[in-house]
C-alpha cells in the first residue's frame, strides 16, 4: 500500500515506518522534527528510514494547512496513520498552546485531507490518558472518558470525537488506538525508562513520583506496531450490532471505532525499576516525590475488543522489553557493559 505516516521521526512513527517498508509498502513520512526532545535522535531515526528506496520524507508542520494539503496531493493513500502530536502530560501544564496547534488544528488538517481524498483508512493515535479520573480497572473502550485530568488527554479525546464526526458526515473510515505507556528501543528521552536508565548509569537519583506507588500497563513498542498494522489492514466499518438506544462508546453506525492497545496487565512502578536495575547491573538511587498534576495512579488495558477485531493481543514481558531497550541504549550511546 501507499501509506502516509505523520510523526515518522518519532518513536512509534519510526518503528511503524520500518515495519511497513519491510513488508513492501511505500511510506511517505511527515514530521516537523521539533525540539521537544533531542532532534539528533529524531534525525538518526530518519537516517535509518532514508536507506529505503520506498521512503520519502516531508519536513513540515502538521498545523500548516498548506503543507498538509501538499502532502495529500502526493496521494491518494490507501491508509494514513496519524502519530504526529504534541505528547506528554506534564509539558501540557507548561505549554498548552502547543497541544492545541498540533493535536487539534493539526488533526483537523489530517481529517480535511482524508475528506478531500475521498478514500482510504485513517488510523490515529489516542491514549490511555483519556480515561482520566476513572479508577475501575481494567479500562475498557466502553468506559466513560468525560473526565480528563490533563489538557493532553482532553485533546486526544477531542480527536476521537472529531474523527467520529468526519466518519458520520463524510464517510471517512477512522480507527482510534489508545496506547498504554509505550517503551522500547529508540524511545523518547522524556519518558521514564529513558530517564531512569540515564540517571542510573550516571549514578544520579531518579525521580519517582507518588513515591513509587503507581502501576502502569507498560507496552513494548513492537506490540504497539503490530496492533497498528493489523488495524491498518482492516478498515473501520459500521458496527451492525450498534444500538442507538444504548450506544457503545467504542463503535458506531459510522465507519469509526476505538481500541485499546496495552499489555493487559498492571506492573508496579517499583517492579519496573527493579527489572531495569537487573538489566543494567546497577542499583538505582530513588528520589521519592509526590504525585504530579495530571497524573493517575494506575492504568491497565482490556484488549478484548482489539483481539476480537484483528486477532492480536500484546504479550511481550516487561523484563524482555527492558533488556532490549538497555541493549539498544548501550549501543546507541556507546555505554560499555
**pTM for this predicted structure:** 0.96
Q: Which of 14, 131, 152, 209 is catalytic?
A: 152
Residues 11-41 have pLDDT tens digits of 999 999 999 999 999 999 999 999 999 999 9
Q: Looking at 83-92, 175-184, 274-283, which range is the least confident one?
A: 83-92
What integer best gives the mean pLDDT of the chain? 95
Whether the CB-CB separation of 284 and 196 falls below 8 Å is answered with yes
- Look up 152 and say whether it is catalytic: yes
**Of 108, 135, 111, 129, nearest to 121 (Cα)?**
111
Per-residue model confidence (pLDDT) at position 10: 97
Asked if residue 292 has pLDDT above 90, the reply is no
Considering Cα of 222, then 223, then 228, then 229, what sign does the dihedral take?
positive
Q: Which three cell numbers stand for residue 223?
A: 506490540
Burial of 110 (0-12, 13-18, 19+ CB in 10 A): buried
Give the C-alpha separation, 153 to 126, whole Å.
8
Average pLDDT over residues 108-119: 97
Residue 261 pairs with which residues in a beta bridge? Answer: 179
Residue 268 φ/ψ, nearest 5 degrees:
-60, 140
Classify 294 in phi/psi space as left (phi over 0), alpha (psi -120 to 50) or beta. Answer: left
Per-residue model confidence (pLDDT) at position 169: 98
Residue ranges of domains in the chain, CATH in brackets: 2-182+219-264+300-315 (3.40.50.720)
Asked if residue 89 has pLDDT above 90, the reply is no
Q: Which three cell numbers stand for residue 76?
A: 491518494
Whether the CB-CB separation of 95 and 36 falls below 8 Å is answered with no
Amino acid at each position: 500500500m501507499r501509506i502516509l505516516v505523520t510523526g515518522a521521526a518519532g518513536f512509534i512513527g519510526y518503528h511503524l515506518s520500518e515495519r511497513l517498508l519491510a513488508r513492501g509498502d511505500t511510506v511517505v513520512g511527515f514530521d516537523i522534527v521539533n525540539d521537544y526532545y533531542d532532534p539528533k535522535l529524531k534525525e538518526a531515526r530518519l537516517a535509518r528510514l532514508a536507506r529505503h528506496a520506498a521512503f520519502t520524507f516531508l519536513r513540515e508542520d502538521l498545523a500548516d494547512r498548506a503543507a498538509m494539503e501538499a502532502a495529500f496531493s502526493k496521494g491518494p493513500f490507501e491508509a494514513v496513520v496519524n502519530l504526529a502530536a504534541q505528547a506528554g502530560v506534564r509539558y501540557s501544564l507548561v505549554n498548552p498552546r502547543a497541544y492545541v496547534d498540533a493535536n487539534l488544528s493539526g488533526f483537523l488538517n489530517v481529517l480535511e485531507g482524508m475528506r478531500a481524498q475521498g478514500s482510504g483508512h485513517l488510523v490515529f493515535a489516542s491514549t490511555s490518558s483519556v480515561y482520566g479520573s476513572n479508577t475501575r480497572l481494567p479500562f475498557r473502550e466502553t468506559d466513560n472518558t468525560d473526565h480528563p485530568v490533563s489538557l493532553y488527554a482532553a485533546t486526544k479525546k477531542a480527536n476521537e470525537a472529531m474523527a467520529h464526526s468526519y466518519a458520520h458526515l463524510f464517510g471517512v473510515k477512522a480507527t482510534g488506538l489508545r496506547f498504554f505507556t509505550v517503551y522500547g528501543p529508540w524511545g523518547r528521552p522524556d519518558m521514564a525508562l529513558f530517564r531512569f536508565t540515564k540517571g542510573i548509569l550516571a549514578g544520579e537519583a531518579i525521580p519517582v513520583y507518588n513515591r513509587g506507588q503507581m502501576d502502569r500497563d507498560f507496552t513494548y513498542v513492537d506490540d504497539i506496531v503490530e496492533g497498528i498494522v493489523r488495524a491498518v489492514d482492516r478498515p473501520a466499518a459500521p458496527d451492525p450490532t450498534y444500538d442507538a438506544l444504548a450506544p457503545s462508546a467504542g463503535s458506531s453506525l459510522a465507519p469509526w471505532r476505538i481500541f485499546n492497545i496495552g499489555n493487559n496487565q498492571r506492573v508496579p512502578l517499583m517492579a519496573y525499576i527493579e527489572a531495569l536495575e537487573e538489566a543494567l547491573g546497577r542499583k538505582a538511587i530513588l528520589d521519592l516525590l509526590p504525585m504530579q498534576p495530571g497524573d493517575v495512579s494506575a492504568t491497565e488495558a482490556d484488549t478484548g475488543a482489539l483481539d476480537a477485531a484483528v486477532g492480536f493481543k500484546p504479550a511481550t514481558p516487561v523484563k524482555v522489553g527492558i533488556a532490549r531497550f538497555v541493549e539498544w541504549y548501550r549501543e546507541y550511546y556507546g555505554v560499555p557493559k
